[in-house]
Structure 1
Amino acid sequence: MAVPGGDAVRRLQAFIVEHQLEITTAPPEPGLGGHEGVVLVVSAPQNPALRITVFDEYGDARPDNPALCLALLNMQFRELGNAGGEMGRWAIAEGLDPAAAKTQTAFAQNQAAHAAFLAAYGPIPDVVSDLDWQLNAGPAQALRGLR
Protein backbone atom coordinates (compact mmCIF):
# COMPACT_ATOMS: atom_id res chain seq x y z
CA MET A 1 0.00 0.00 0.00
CA ALA A 2 1.35 3.43 -0.94
CA VAL A 3 2.03 5.92 1.82
CA PRO A 4 0.03 9.15 1.31
CA GLY A 5 2.53 11.82 0.33
CA GLY A 6 5.29 9.27 -0.21
CA ASP A 7 5.90 10.39 -3.80
CA ALA A 8 6.30 14.00 -2.63
CA VAL A 9 8.86 12.93 -0.02
CA ARG A 10 10.80 10.89 -2.61
CA ARG A 11 10.85 13.80 -5.08
CA LEU A 12 12.19 16.24 -2.50
CA GLN A 13 14.77 13.75 -1.23
CA ALA A 14 15.91 13.02 -4.80
CA PHE A 15 16.33 16.77 -5.43
CA ILE A 16 18.49 17.05 -2.31
CA VAL A 17 20.66 14.10 -3.34
CA GLU A 18 20.93 15.24 -6.98
CA HIS A 19 22.24 18.65 -5.96
CA GLN A 20 24.14 17.49 -2.84
CA LEU A 21 22.26 20.03 -0.75
CA GLU A 22 22.82 20.59 2.93
CA ILE A 23 20.20 22.63 4.76
CA THR A 24 20.77 24.05 8.21
CA THR A 25 18.88 26.59 10.29
CA ALA A 26 19.88 29.87 11.90
CA PRO A 27 17.96 32.54 13.82
CA PRO A 28 16.53 35.40 11.77
CA GLU A 29 17.91 38.92 11.83
CA PRO A 30 17.15 40.43 15.26
CA GLY A 31 14.37 42.95 15.07
CA LEU A 32 12.88 41.55 11.87
CA GLY A 33 9.61 40.79 13.59
CA GLY A 34 7.51 37.73 12.98
CA HIS A 35 8.04 35.34 15.86
CA GLU A 36 8.14 32.35 13.51
CA GLY A 37 11.07 33.59 11.44
CA VAL A 38 13.98 31.26 10.80
CA VAL A 39 16.83 31.37 8.31
CA LEU A 40 17.45 28.33 6.16
CA VAL A 41 21.06 28.08 5.01
CA VAL A 42 21.37 26.05 1.82
CA SER A 43 24.80 24.90 0.74
CA ALA A 44 26.27 22.48 -1.76
CA PRO A 45 29.72 21.73 -3.14
CA GLN A 46 30.89 24.29 -5.71
CA ASN A 47 28.13 26.80 -4.84
CA PRO A 48 28.08 29.58 -2.25
CA ALA A 49 25.77 29.17 0.72
CA LEU A 50 22.41 30.90 0.43
CA ARG A 51 20.48 32.35 3.38
CA ILE A 52 16.70 32.57 3.04
CA THR A 53 14.38 33.84 5.75
CA VAL A 54 11.22 31.73 6.02
CA PHE A 55 8.26 32.14 8.33
CA ASP A 56 7.58 28.80 9.92
CA GLU A 57 4.34 29.16 11.84
CA TYR A 58 4.14 25.42 12.55
CA GLY A 59 7.74 24.97 13.78
CA ASP A 60 8.68 22.64 10.93
CA ALA A 61 12.21 23.90 10.22
CA ARG A 62 14.40 21.12 11.56
CA PRO A 63 17.94 20.56 10.31
CA ASP A 64 17.45 16.82 10.80
CA ASN A 65 14.67 16.90 8.17
CA PRO A 66 16.10 18.48 5.01
CA ALA A 67 13.15 17.40 2.84
CA LEU A 68 10.75 19.29 5.10
CA CYS A 69 13.07 22.32 5.07
CA LEU A 70 13.20 22.18 1.27
CA ALA A 71 9.40 22.22 1.16
CA LEU A 72 9.42 25.26 3.49
CA LEU A 73 11.92 26.93 1.21
CA ASN A 74 9.67 26.28 -1.75
CA MET A 75 6.74 27.83 0.11
CA GLN A 76 8.81 30.97 0.73
CA PHE A 77 9.75 31.12 -2.94
CA ARG A 78 6.04 30.83 -3.80
CA GLU A 79 5.28 33.73 -1.44
CA LEU A 80 7.91 35.81 -3.22
CA GLY A 81 6.33 34.93 -6.56
CA ASN A 82 2.85 35.74 -5.28
CA ALA A 83 4.11 39.17 -4.23
CA GLY A 84 5.07 39.89 -7.84
CA GLY A 85 8.25 41.69 -6.83
CA GLU A 86 6.39 44.03 -4.50
CA MET A 87 8.06 44.16 -1.11
CA GLY A 88 4.93 45.57 0.56
CA ARG A 89 2.75 42.66 -0.57
CA TRP A 90 5.34 40.16 0.65
CA ALA A 91 5.72 41.93 4.00
CA ILE A 92 1.98 42.01 4.64
CA ALA A 93 1.63 38.33 3.69
CA GLU A 94 4.38 37.47 6.19
CA GLY A 95 3.00 39.71 8.95
CA LEU A 96 5.90 42.16 8.81
CA ASP A 97 6.04 45.93 8.84
CA PRO A 98 6.62 47.00 5.21
CA ALA A 99 8.17 50.29 6.37
CA ALA A 100 10.83 48.63 8.54
CA ALA A 101 14.34 48.68 7.09
CA LYS A 102 14.97 45.09 8.25
CA THR A 103 11.86 43.92 6.40
CA GLN A 104 13.09 45.60 3.22
CA THR A 105 16.53 44.04 3.64
CA ALA A 106 15.07 40.56 4.24
CA PHE A 107 12.92 40.89 1.12
CA ALA A 108 15.89 41.95 -1.01
CA GLN A 109 18.04 39.11 0.39
CA ASN A 110 15.30 36.54 -0.22
CA GLN A 111 14.79 37.81 -3.77
CA ALA A 112 18.52 37.55 -4.49
CA ALA A 113 18.77 34.11 -2.86
CA HIS A 114 15.78 32.90 -4.87
CA ALA A 115 17.40 33.99 -8.15
CA ALA A 116 20.71 32.38 -7.14
CA PHE A 117 18.96 29.16 -6.11
CA LEU A 118 17.12 28.91 -9.42
CA ALA A 119 20.32 29.55 -11.36
CA ALA A 120 22.25 26.90 -9.42
CA TYR A 121 19.65 24.19 -8.90
CA GLY A 122 16.48 24.96 -10.83
CA PRO A 123 12.98 24.93 -9.35
CA ILE A 124 12.17 22.89 -6.27
CA PRO A 125 9.51 20.23 -6.85
CA ASP A 126 6.23 21.90 -5.83
CA VAL A 127 4.63 18.99 -4.02
CA VAL A 128 2.93 20.44 -0.93
CA SER A 129 -0.10 22.69 -1.23
CA ASP A 130 -0.92 25.41 1.28
CA LEU A 131 -4.03 23.47 2.25
CA ASP A 132 -1.97 20.33 2.95
CA TRP A 133 0.22 22.41 5.30
CA GLN A 134 -2.75 23.85 7.12
CA LEU A 135 -4.57 20.54 7.47
CA ASN A 136 -1.41 18.48 8.03
CA ALA A 137 -2.57 16.21 5.22
CA GLY A 138 -0.92 14.07 2.56
CA PRO A 139 2.60 15.28 1.72
CA ALA A 140 2.80 17.67 4.69
CA GLN A 141 1.98 14.91 7.14
CA ALA A 142 4.43 12.53 5.44
CA LEU A 143 7.23 15.14 5.59
CA ARG A 144 6.54 16.03 9.21
CA GLY A 145 6.66 12.33 10.08
CA LEU A 146 10.21 11.82 8.77
CA ARG A 147 12.81 11.12 11.42
Structure 2
Amino acid sequence: MAVPEAVRRLKAFIAAHGIEIAIDAPDPELGGFDGVVLVVSAPQNPALRITVFDEYGDARPDNPALCLALLNMQFRELGDAGGEMGRWAIAEGLDPEMAATQRVFGQNEAARAAFLAAYGPTPDVVSDLDWQLNAGPAQALRGL
Protein backbone atom coordinates (compact mmCIF):
# COMPACT_ATOMS: atom_id res chain seq x y z
CA MET A 1 0.00 0.00 0.00
CA ALA A 2 1.30 3.45 -0.86
CA VAL A 3 2.33 5.50 2.16
CA PRO A 4 0.05 8.50 1.53
CA GLU A 5 -2.88 6.12 1.01
CA ALA A 6 -2.24 4.40 4.35
CA VAL A 7 -2.13 7.69 6.24
CA ARG A 8 -5.19 8.97 4.37
CA ARG A 9 -7.20 5.85 5.29
CA LEU A 10 -6.40 6.18 8.99
CA LYS A 11 -7.23 9.89 9.04
CA ALA A 12 -10.45 9.31 7.09
CA PHE A 13 -11.54 6.61 9.56
CA ILE A 14 -10.96 8.97 12.48
CA ALA A 15 -12.82 11.83 10.79
CA ALA A 16 -15.75 9.65 9.69
CA HIS A 17 -16.40 8.52 13.25
CA GLY A 18 -15.42 11.71 15.09
CA ILE A 19 -12.89 9.72 17.08
CA GLU A 20 -10.63 11.35 19.63
CA ILE A 21 -7.77 9.46 21.24
CA ALA A 22 -6.18 10.37 24.56
CA ILE A 23 -3.33 8.61 26.34
CA ASP A 24 -3.34 7.43 29.93
CA ALA A 25 -0.98 5.42 32.12
CA PRO A 26 -1.34 1.63 32.16
CA ASP A 27 -2.29 -0.48 35.16
CA PRO A 28 0.75 -0.05 37.46
CA GLU A 29 0.53 -3.72 38.43
CA LEU A 30 1.64 -4.71 34.90
CA GLY A 31 5.16 -3.72 35.92
CA GLY A 32 7.72 -1.87 33.85
CA PHE A 33 6.37 -2.87 30.47
CA ASP A 34 5.87 -0.48 27.59
CA GLY A 35 2.11 -0.36 27.98
CA VAL A 36 0.00 2.74 27.51
CA VAL A 37 -3.75 3.10 27.63
CA LEU A 38 -5.47 4.62 24.63
CA VAL A 39 -8.77 6.23 25.56
CA VAL A 40 -10.95 6.25 22.45
CA SER A 41 -14.03 8.44 22.47
CA ALA A 42 -16.50 9.87 20.00
CA PRO A 43 -19.87 11.60 20.15
CA GLN A 44 -22.70 9.20 20.99
CA ASN A 45 -20.30 6.42 22.05
CA PRO A 46 -18.87 5.66 25.49
CA ALA A 47 -15.14 6.06 25.99
CA LEU A 48 -13.14 2.86 25.60
CA ARG A 49 -9.85 2.11 27.34
CA ILE A 50 -7.47 -0.23 25.53
CA THR A 51 -3.99 -1.09 26.78
CA VAL A 52 -1.50 -1.25 23.92
CA PHE A 53 2.15 -2.16 24.10
CA ASP A 54 4.15 0.64 22.56
CA GLU A 55 7.60 -0.87 22.25
CA TYR A 56 8.96 2.09 20.29
CA GLY A 57 7.33 4.89 22.33
CA ASP A 58 5.17 6.04 19.43
CA ALA A 59 1.91 6.93 21.20
CA ARG A 60 1.40 10.69 21.17
CA PRO A 61 -1.83 12.57 21.82
CA ASP A 62 -1.09 14.89 18.88
CA ASN A 63 -0.93 11.95 16.43
CA PRO A 64 -4.28 10.11 16.47
CA ALA A 65 -3.56 8.32 13.17
CA LEU A 66 -0.48 6.70 14.69
CA CYS A 67 -2.44 5.83 17.83
CA LEU A 68 -5.14 4.22 15.69
CA ALA A 69 -2.47 2.11 13.98
CA LEU A 70 -1.20 1.03 17.42
CA LEU A 71 -4.75 0.18 18.41
CA ASN A 72 -5.12 -1.93 15.28
CA MET A 73 -1.90 -3.75 16.12
CA GLN A 74 -3.29 -4.60 19.59
CA PHE A 75 -6.54 -5.79 18.02
CA ARG A 76 -4.51 -8.08 15.72
CA GLU A 77 -2.69 -9.52 18.75
CA LEU A 78 -6.00 -10.17 20.49
CA GLY A 79 -7.39 -11.79 17.34
CA ASP A 80 -4.29 -13.95 16.94
CA ALA A 81 -4.71 -15.15 20.54
CA GLY A 82 -8.19 -16.44 19.70
CA GLY A 83 -9.59 -15.57 23.12
CA GLU A 84 -6.80 -17.39 24.94
CA MET A 85 -5.40 -15.10 27.59
CA GLY A 86 -2.21 -17.13 27.98
CA ARG A 87 -1.34 -16.87 24.29
CA TRP A 88 -1.93 -13.11 24.35
CA ALA A 89 0.11 -12.64 27.52
CA ILE A 90 3.09 -14.53 26.14
CA ALA A 91 2.95 -12.59 22.85
CA GLU A 92 3.00 -9.33 24.84
CA GLY A 93 5.75 -10.46 27.20
CA LEU A 94 3.46 -10.55 30.24
CA ASP A 95 3.12 -13.12 33.01
CA PRO A 96 -0.17 -14.94 32.37
CA GLU A 97 -0.42 -15.82 36.08
CA MET A 98 -0.54 -12.18 37.21
CA ALA A 99 -3.97 -10.87 38.14
CA ALA A 100 -3.19 -7.58 36.36
CA THR A 101 -2.43 -9.42 33.11
CA GLN A 102 -5.71 -11.30 33.32
CA ARG A 103 -7.61 -8.12 34.14
CA VAL A 104 -6.08 -6.15 31.24
CA PHE A 105 -6.76 -9.01 28.83
CA GLY A 106 -10.44 -9.04 29.83
CA GLN A 107 -10.67 -5.25 29.54
CA ASN A 108 -9.00 -5.28 26.12
CA GLU A 109 -11.23 -8.07 24.83
CA ALA A 110 -14.36 -6.18 25.97
CA ALA A 111 -13.09 -2.88 24.54
CA ARG A 112 -12.21 -4.55 21.24
CA ALA A 113 -15.73 -5.98 20.92
CA ALA A 114 -17.29 -2.61 21.79
CA PHE A 115 -15.01 -0.76 19.35
CA LEU A 116 -15.83 -3.12 16.50
CA ALA A 117 -19.55 -2.85 17.24
CA ALA A 118 -19.41 0.95 17.29
CA TYR A 119 -16.93 1.70 14.51
CA GLY A 120 -16.19 -1.48 12.58
CA PRO A 121 -12.70 -2.73 11.81
CA THR A 122 -9.82 -0.27 11.76
CA PRO A 123 -7.80 0.15 8.58
CA ASP A 124 -4.98 -2.42 8.71
CA VAL A 125 -2.27 -0.47 6.91
CA VAL A 126 0.97 -1.03 8.87
CA SER A 127 2.65 -4.43 8.89
CA ASP A 128 4.68 -5.70 11.83
CA LEU A 129 7.78 -5.57 9.65
CA ASP A 130 7.13 -1.89 8.80
CA TRP A 131 6.96 -1.14 12.56
CA GLN A 132 10.21 -2.97 13.24
CA LEU A 133 12.11 -1.47 10.32
CA ASN A 134 10.52 1.98 10.59
CA ALA A 135 9.57 1.68 6.94
CA GLY A 136 6.69 2.72 4.70
CA PRO A 137 3.52 3.66 6.56
CA ALA A 138 5.15 3.33 10.00
CA GLN A 139 7.81 5.87 9.08
CA ALA A 140 5.23 8.21 7.55
CA LEU A 141 2.99 8.02 10.64
CA ARG A 142 5.90 8.63 13.00
CA GLY A 143 6.78 11.71 10.97
CA LEU A 144 3.35 13.33 11.32
TM-score between the two structures when normalised by the length of structure 1:
0.96
Between the aligned partners of 2:116 and 2:82, the Cα distance in structure 1 is 16
1:27-46 matches, within 5 Å, as 27-46=25-44
Matched, 1:137 2:135: yes
1:52 correspondence with 2:50: yes
8 Å CA contact 1:8, 1:139 repeated in 2: yes
- Secondary structure of the residue that 1:60 maps to in structure 2? coil
**Distance in 2 separating the partners of 1:74 and 1:7:** 17
For residue 5 of structure 1, report the CA deviation from its aligned partner. Answer: 1.1
Amino acid at match of 2:78: L
Q: Which runs of 4+ in 1 moved over 4 A?
A: none
Determine which structure has the larger helix proportion and give its number. 2
Structure 2 regions of 5+ residues with no counterpart? none
- The percent identity for this pair of structures is 81
Distance 2:78 2:71 in 1: 11
User: Partner of 1:110 in structure 2?
Assistant: 108
Cα distance, 1:64 vs structure 2:
0.3
- Kindly provide the CA deviation profile for residues 17-49 of structure 1, in whole angstroms up to 9, marking residues without a partner as x: 000000010000111135200000000000000
The alignment partner of 1:98 has SS state of: coil
User: 5+ unaligned residues in a row in structure 1: which ranges?
Assistant: none
Q: Secondary structure at the match of 2:31?
A: coil
Find the counterpart in structure 1 of residue 120 from structure 2.
122
Matched, 1:65 2:72: no
CA distance in 2, matches of 1:133, 1:32: 23
Q: CA RMSD in A?
A: 0.7
TM-score by length of 2: 0.98
